[in-house]
Structure 1
Amino acid sequence: MEIQGKIKMIDETKTYGTNGFRKREMVITTEEQYPQHILVEFVQDKTDLLNNFKEGQNVKVSINLRGREWVNPQGETKYFNSITGWRIENLSDSVSGDMPPMPPVEAFEPANDLNEEDHDDLPF
């Protein structure tokens, strides 16, 4: 799944437990009639993906939905959901791609020396 929007907040990487579990959270605000503020978490080596991004950028984030069950000490069963990001793309860069910009029309000279007899290259 993917979500698109503007980065509202990027938190710092936090480490938990003795095994060094790393997590970094970001909030994306969708751009629709009723904007939503979606919390996306990046874990372990994916936390580094956010290093090149900053608040205010328009991005597309590839996500997985995760759900888990937990039984508390009183025996009650609870369910939790999380949104985990695994790829992030800057939308403004993806539009232009790797192609250089097109020169303005004034940079081209008109082709005045065309002779139609020289350009009859049809195969039939």
Structure 2
Amino acid sequence: MSYELSGTVKEIFDEQTFASGFNKREFVVTNEADKFPQDIKFECLKDKVELVNKLKKGDSVKVSFDINGREWNGKYFVNLVAWRIESGAASAADDEPPPFDPADEILDEEPPF
């Protein structure tokens, strides 16, 4: 199952490459949908690291991600693994037509001056 979260990029961490050749890059998105803003850390793995390279602090984004959980030595870990990052700069107002302006009307007849 996949999930989505929208917010503003707060932090972008350096890419990490491990001896095995595995690489990842993490970033934090602040979600202000609730009363108290939440800082949520995501990670991109392998070829998805390129998605983070396009981000800047302050960008509005919508992140599609999966939740991965695992156990190691009796401890449990949860990771939010992003697989799509879309620019969220477009707001609901961008989906609406511009307000009516009579000056934009095309006249079918000569103006009366």
Is the helix fraction higher in 1 or 2?
1
Deviation at 1:93?
4.5
3-state DSSP of counterpart to 2:89: helix
Larger Rg: 1
- The one of 39, 42, 45 equivalent to 1:43 is 45
Identity %: 39
**1:117 match:** none
TM-score, L = length of structure 1: 0.73
Residues of 2 paired with 1:87 and 1:40: CA distance?
A: 11
- How many positions carry a matched residue from both structures? 104
Q: Identify if the C-alpha distance between structure 1 residues 86 and 111 changes in structure 2 by more than 3 Å, giving closer, same or farther.
A: same
CA RMSD of aligned residues (A): 2.5
Query: After the TM superposition, which segments of 4 or more aligned residues of structure 1 sit over 6 Å from their partners?
Result: none
Is the strand fraction higher in 1 or 2?
2
TM-score, L = length of structure 2: 0.79
Gaps of 5+ in 2: none
Structure with the larger RCO, 1 or 2 (CA within 8 Å, 6+ apart): 2
Q: Identify if the C-alpha distance between structure 1 residues 78 and 66 changes in structure 2 by more than 3 Å, giving closer, same or farther.
A: same
